[in-house]
Amino acid sequence: MVAKNAFYAQSGGVTAVINASAAGLIEAARQQQGKIGAVYAGRNGIIGALTEDLIDTGKDSASAISALRHTPSGAFGSCRYKLKSLEQNRREYERLIEVFKAHDIGYFFYNGGGDSADTCLKVSQLADTLGYPIQAIHVPKTVDNDLPITDCCPGYGSVAKYIAVSTLEASFDVASMSKTSTKVFVLEVMGRHAGWIAAAGGLASSVDREIPVVILFPEIPFDKAKFIAKVDSNVKKFGYCSVVVSEGVKGEDGKFLSDQGIRDAFGHAQLGGVAPVVANIVREELGLKYHWAVADYLQRAGRHIASKTDVEQAYAMGKAAVEFAIDGHNAVMPTIERVSSHPYVWKVGMAQLSEVANVEKMMPENFISEDGFGITDKCREYLVPLIQGEDYPPYKDGLPDYVRLKNVAVAKKLGDFTI
Amino acid sequence: MVAKNAFYAQSGGVTAVINASAAGLIEAARQQQGKIGAVYAGRNGIIGALTEDLIDTGKDSASAISALRHTPSGAFGSCRYKLKSLEQNRREYERLIEVFKAHDIGYFFYNGGGDSADTCLKVSQLADTLGYPIQAIHVPKTVDNDLPITDCCPGYGSVAKYIAVSTLEASFDVASMSKTSTKVFVLEVMGRHAGWIAAAGGLASSVDREIPVVILFPEIPFDKAKFIAKVDSNVKKFGYCSVVVSEGVKGEDGKFLSDQGIRDAFGHAQLGGVAPVVANIVREELGLKYHWAVADYLQRAGRHIASKTDVEQAYAMGKAAVEFAIDGHNAVMPTIERVSSHPYVWKVGMAQLSEVANVEKMMPENFISEDGFGITDKCREYLVPLIQGEDYPPYKDGLPDYVRLKNVAVAKKLGDFTI
């Protein structure tokens, strides 16, 4: 058997640990000489495959690849580009095969979320549909935590830790200021469809350290009167209140709360966040002084405070993908299987891509407290293990020593292709 | 000599390390039995003194006080409350003396910024003005880094580290996404008058890791055309651009850039940040996809990523304040004196409060690059030592194990006082 080369690409929004998956995958592949040849990474995701813009990961040293484990973002570039169906865009699939053939690629590893799983599934069917033999393995990644079957998604645990830590720290701050100044702190977090990330704000409060945190979930239509009553009662009881609001929160009219028809002085529409909208509601209804923050990319890029559990799982997913490939699997995705919560034990499982693609895992209803503003004990039991442990990067001159790879291009063999 | 009691209070916006100063002060005072009696903390700053709401720090264990070193925020509560002059509000000064007398307080330690230094100076003059013998020592604290004489201010180094790390991480993120998605990332940071905090964003870029960071300083009037040209050229050269904008940036008309006359659908004024304003300018002028974040309290409460140098200096300032008191000083403030930058060596100095109060230290002009969008080598030489070292808090269940003191009240001896 002649060793086939492997293609690896990062897809969609990047995370603090997607490069840990890359490290796991490349290091495992390097152990499989004779079975896997070169690992070529797509520059900017699948676009790199379509345009034959491949990176020879072999040109980067073992220590550089190892440093990916502690480096956030997508080291090879990511992209937001969804392949259409074979019927709709046969040209792109034929181009993929052309590139794969030219570079002797027999393994396709795709590191992404739900949309990417769908792309990976389509590539896995190229043997059947277009006669090109390839094994396609999906490597799970998404801060949204919305892939099915797997207990959690690499990337989520670190965002959850970032949001829990930030909510805790800002709550301590506002508590100090509340006597004469700020009484309400609002933190906007990611999550268009599901409240997984917002839920993590609830972890700031615990039995031995009660903190009034009001969570606004995208699953629960915003009820202004109920919200104001909740904030008011917290401020009366504790002197202050923290609010964690998901960017995807909608009003009872089904429109995003952030979409308030806001205009600048010239009447131009302004794209704002939801945090200032919520803060303004607090001011108007209760007359309280507030502060607000929008975490945005900081939350998903915050490798400096990544969850050790998350880093280990991300690495394990990359490694398992290679093992699955060597074992002859196609159209599968490694998963995280929870064996127990107390103590937290997990192992690597396997899911069929056909059961993963285009399925969105929502928060279970029993994870949100009855009043709609908090998390239940069941949710806490699920979340706490995912933020366990710290995995600090090395530092140089006071800053994390994140790696930048050389990303040496593989010589092109084909003509140009326009996407 | 009978030991006099000490009063300690935290004032103004809290920081990641103001409690480290409290730890240094209380631990040093506990070593001075026979000279210093009890340390009473004001609950919510000077308001605690005026209302005789004192906390007996002696009721908290040595380990709890020691844990203050790794706990952000103000453990005793802070306040925004500036004492007027003796002529304008003699009543409050007489009340302070009444409370000090009732609780045998001979030392007044005030932990704050410029306004607090002024209050501390007024208290230091009570012997002369109202015949009450007291030694008043100011303990420097401010994320704004704007106190004179001292080389830097405790609290600033940790904010600077937070902003430098966050800018670095978000820049890695946007670089990964830039091919098909976000090309410009905007981070709003604190700093109404001076660009000290914004300057720290410039540290994300270094000789061996160039990152295109455009800084908008409050010192430089916003020039839209020049800004857009700078962002455009960075995006053309690097594929992406990060922008760090100080909340205090003003337009050429002298008005805050954040104050854009923004109205909601009902015509109500909206209080927004400057980050969305800058992001919208990028979208309108260049048509680029952007993301924006507002760090707000997260930056000054982020003890999880505090600068070790900053923590050590904050602790040393609290300790030195006690030593100064024991040595009989009044109306002084411990300072940080830089002995050298390479290697970084500093020592504790002493400033007269009369030279500190009401003096605001601005960024030197030669710290801002000629085009107004970056920092100079001189600035870098100043900043780099301040973010050196990590000083991680202990963790429990995945979160920093920050302490909450018991904060037991001292029995009141006087009648009520209305502030």
pLDDT in tens, B355-395: 998 899 999 999 999 999 999 999 999 999 999 999 999 99
pLDDT above 70 as % of chain A: 97
Task: Give contacts of A384 with chain B, Cβ < 8 Å.
Answer: 397-398
Contact at CB, A264 and B265, closer than 8 angstroms:
no
User: A380, A203 in Cβ contact below 8 A?
Assistant: yes
Note the pLDDT of residue B358. 86
Contact at CB, B392 and A392, closer than 8 angstroms:
yes
**What chain A residue is nearest to B211 in terms of C-alpha separation?**
A404
Average pLDDT, chain B: 95
> Which candidate from A72, A173, A304 shows the least CB-CB separation from B14?
A173
pLDDT in tens, B174-231: 999 999 999 999 999 999 889 999 999 999 999 989 999 999 999 999 999 999 999 9
Q: Which residues does A370 contact at the CB level (< 8 Å), separation at least 6?
A: none
Task: Give contacts of A203 with chain B, Cβ < 8 Å.
Answer: 398-399
Nearest to A302 by CA among A381, A402, A153: A402
Note the pLDDT of residue B82. 87
The residues of B that are catalytic are: 144
For chains A and B, CB pairs below 8 A equal 256
Note the pLDDT of residue A345. 98
Contact at CB, A402 and B303, closer than 8 angstroms:
no
**Tally of CB atoms within 10 A around B370:** 8
Return left, alpha or beta for B109; rule: phi > 0 is left, psi -120 to 50 is alpha, else beta: beta
SS3 at position A272: coil
User: B301, A170 in Cβ contact below 8 A?
Assistant: yes
Distance CA A271, CA B281 (A): 11
Q: How far is A278 from chain B (nearest CA, A)?
A: 11
Side-chain-side CA neighbours of B126 within 13 Å: the count stands at 24
Average pLDDT over residues B298-323: 98
Note the pLDDT of residue A2. 79
Note the pLDDT of residue B181. 93
**What chain B residue is nearest to A181 in terms of C-alpha separation?**
B80
Burial of B326 (0-12, 13-18, 19+ CB in 10 A): middle
Task: Give contacts of B78 with chain A, Cβ < 8 Å.
Answer: 176-177, 179
> Which candidate from B45, B164, B292 shows the least CB-CB separation from A399?
B164
The residues of A that are catalytic are: 144
Task: Give contacts of A178 with chain B, Cβ < 8 Å.
Answer: 77
Distance CA B220, CA B223 (A): 8
**What chain B residue is nearest to A405 in terms of C-alpha separation?**
B209
SS3 at position A94: helix
Q: Is the predicted pLDDT of residue B271 greater than 60, yes or no?
A: no
> Which candidate from A78, A204, A276 shows the least CB-CB separation from B270?
A276
Range B226-235 burial, b when 16+ CB lie within 10 A, else e = ebeebbbebb
Contact at CB, A73 and B172, closer than 8 angstroms:
yes
pLDDT in tens, B8-59: 999 999 999 999 999 999 999 999 989 999 999 999 999 999 999 999 999 9
Q: Which residue would you say has higher pLDDT here, B165 or B267?
A: B165
Task: Give contacts of B170 with chain A, Cβ < 8 Å.
Answer: 296-298, 301
pLDDT per residue, tens digit, chain A (419 aa), is 679 999 999 999 999 999 999 999 999 999 998 999 999 999 999 999 999 999 999 999 999 999 999 999 999 999 999 888 889 999 999 999 999 999 999 999 999 999 999 999 999 999 888 999 999 999 999 999 999 999 999 999 999 999 999 999 999 999 999 999 999 999 999 998 899 999 999 999 999 899 999 999 999 999 999 999 999 999 999 999 999 999 999 999 999 998 765 555 555 555 568 999 999 999 999 999 999 999 999 999 999 999 999 999 999 999 999 999 999 999 999 999 999 999 999 999 999 999 998 899 999 999 999 999 999 999 999 999 999 999 999 999 999 999 999 999 999 999 999 98
Average pLDDT, chain A: 95
Range B51-84 burial, b when 16+ CB lie within 10 A, else e = bbbbbbbbebeeebbebbbbbbbbbbbbbbbebe
Contact at CB, B297 and A174, closer than 8 angstroms:
yes
Q: Is the predicted pLDDT of residue B1 greater than 80, yes or no?
A: no
Task: Give contacts of B71 with chain A, Cβ < 8 Å.
Answer: 172
| For helices A308-326 and A156-177, angle between their N-to-C axes, nearest 10 degrees | 170
Q: Is the predicted pLDDT of residue B250 greater than 60, yes or no?
A: yes
Q: Which residues does A217 contact at the CB level (< 8 Å), separation at least 6?
A: A195, A198, A199, A246, A249, A363, A368, A372
Contact at CB, A400 and B260, closer than 8 angstroms:
no
Q: How far is A223 from chain B (nearest CA, A)?
A: 19
Distances (CA, A) of A312 to A18, A70, A322, B265: 11, 11, 16, 48
Contact at CB, B280 and A273, closer than 8 angstroms:
no
Mutate to test the interface with A, among B298, B309, B310, B404 (most CBs of A within 10 A): B298
Q: For residue A343, what are the β-bridge partners?
A: none
Displacement of CA A291 from its chain's centroid (Å): 27
Range A122-134 burial, b when 16+ CB lie within 10 A, else e = bbbbbeeeeebeb
Note the pLDDT of residue A264. 53
DSSP 8-state secondary structure symbol assigned to residue B393 = P
Note the pLDDT of residue A266. 55
Note the pLDDT of residue A272. 65
> Which candidate from B187, B297, B400 shows the least CB-CB separation from A185?
B297
- Location of structure tokens 């100076």: B121
Is the pTM above the cut of 0.90? yes
Task: Give contacts of B404 with chain A, Cβ < 8 Å.
Answer: 209
Distances (CA, A) of B147 to A199, A219, B118, B202, B218: 40, 47, 11, 22, 17
Q: How far is A300 from chain B (nearest CA, A)?
A: 8
